[in-house]
């Protein structure tokens, strides 16, 4: 079996991390694996340099460089002759169908990574693209959703249900593990005092991650206690970042909030937290929740995507878009005794190890892809 993945770029992100993890693991199992990327230079490409995973640069020249780009994609696929083309995310799913007429024997397995999209927060192209994938979904031979919520959402919008299978993401529990020393180093870098509680949100600065609710909840909690600090970890477009920073100023969060930007040392970042938070209004399988849990960090999450399935009884689940509920969720964890919080963190890691490890994820994905052949 020979597999070629397709994605925009190997930038730092949840879906991209999963793609690189899956490609490496399949390659280690003796499966010939490659990744075709629209744009070169993504930071995650470095993680593949010591592997046998080939990376093919399609050199897309911007949003409207479609005809030349599709020819280049068809050329690369024709030369490499994979048995299966496995795109990630909606635009790659749609583009994969365009090369099928030239390669009739090629099997196509789509990837679905989200369960909800508020299209009012994005431009018109996102709406058109999603509508196109709904119509084209019948052209895929297999559709792999990383969440039950994602499968249900897409089925309701016309995706071919008989071709869909749910395979939850895998968390690398050897990489993401308790590491108090690394956490202490990051806390020192951020000037977080030993008696302060640090509540962190990891995610790109994007409306679907709902940072405004996180900031409003922070203001509510700070109105009750002054021993908490907050940090947002993740990159994003400058205008939206500036909007969030203005909001934090209007809420008078001051030095209680830090926008830390993109970080590569995520194991250390999670270990710096006392509580990890997901504030999203839409998700598939939120990797950041599983990664924080694997580090033994209790989580307070919104009921977005499969977050409730991941957390189980090891954390607190609240409705999306409700700052007061989020602040109360944090308060529940803060009111626990130190021993109770420690046990909750241990239970969180045990849950990830038992149910969402990488070996289960890779084995199930390989089995699903082999079924196409």
Domain boundaries, the chain: 2-170+357-370, 180-355
Assigned fold of 2-170+357-370: Rossmann fold (3.40.50)
Asked if the model's pLDDT at residue 22 lies above 90, the reply is: yes
* pLDDT (0 to 100) of residue 235: 92
Tell me the mean pLDDT in the region 288-297: 97
In the predicted model, what is the mean pLDDT of residues 220-236?
96
Please state, for a pLDDT cut of 70, what percent of the chain lies above it: 97
Q: Is the pLDDT of residue 231 over 70?
A: yes
Q: Is 180-355 assigned to CATH 3.40.50.2000?
A: yes
Answer yes or no: same fold for 2-170+357-370 and 180-355.
yes
Mean pLDDT of 148-175: 90
Mean pLDDT calculated for residue range 290-310: 96
Pairing of β 228-233 and β 142-145: unpaired
Average pLDDT for 345-367:
94
Residue 340 in this model has a pLDDT that exceeds 70? yes
């Amino acid at each position: 079996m020979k597999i070629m993945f397709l994605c925009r770029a190997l930038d730092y992100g949840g879906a991209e991390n999963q793609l690189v993890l899956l490609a490496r693991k399949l390659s280690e199992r003796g499966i010939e694996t490659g990744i075709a990327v629209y744009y070169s230079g993504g930071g995650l490409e470095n993680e593949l340099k010591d592997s046998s995973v080939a990376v093919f640069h399609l050199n897309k020249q911007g949003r409207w460089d479609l005809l030349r780009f599709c020819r280049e994609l068809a050329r690369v696929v024709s030369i490499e002759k994979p048995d299966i083309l496995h795109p990630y995310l909606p635009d790659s799913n749609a583009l994969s169908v365009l090369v099928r007429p030239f390669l009739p024997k090629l099997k196509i397995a789509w990837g679905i990574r989200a369960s909800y999209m508020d299209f009012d927060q994005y431009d018109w192209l996102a709406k058109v693209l999603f509508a196109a994938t709904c119509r084209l979904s019948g052209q895929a031979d297999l559709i792999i959703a990383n969440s039950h919520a994602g499968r249900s959402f897409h089925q309701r919008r016309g995706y071919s249900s008989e071709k869909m299978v749910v395979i939850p993401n895998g968390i690398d529990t050897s990489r993401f593990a308790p590491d108090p020393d690394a956490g202490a180093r990051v806390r020192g870098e951020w000037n977080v005092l030993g008696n302060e509680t640090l509540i962190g949100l990891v995610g790109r600065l994007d409306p679907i991650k709902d940072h405004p609710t996180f900031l409003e909840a922070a203001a509510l909690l700070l109105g009750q206690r002054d021993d908490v600090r907050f940090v947002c970890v993740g990159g994003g477009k400058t205008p939206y970042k500036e909007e969030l920073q203005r909001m934090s100023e209007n809420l008078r969060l001051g030095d209680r909030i830090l926008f830390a930007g993109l970080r590569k040392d995520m194991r250390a970042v999670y270990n710096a937290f006392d509580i990890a938070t997901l504030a999203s209004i839409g998700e598939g399988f939120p990797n950041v929740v599983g990664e924080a849990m694997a580090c033994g960090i209790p989580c307070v999450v919104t009921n977005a995507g499969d977050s409730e399935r991941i957390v189980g009884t090891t954390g607190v689940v609240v409705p999306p878009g409700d700052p007061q509920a989020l602040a109360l969720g944090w308060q529940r964890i803060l009111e626990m005794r130190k021993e109770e919080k420690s046990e909750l963190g241990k239970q969180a890691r045990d849950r990830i190890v038992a149910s969402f490890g990488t070996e289960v994820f890779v084995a199930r994905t390989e089995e699903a892809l082999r079924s196409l052949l």
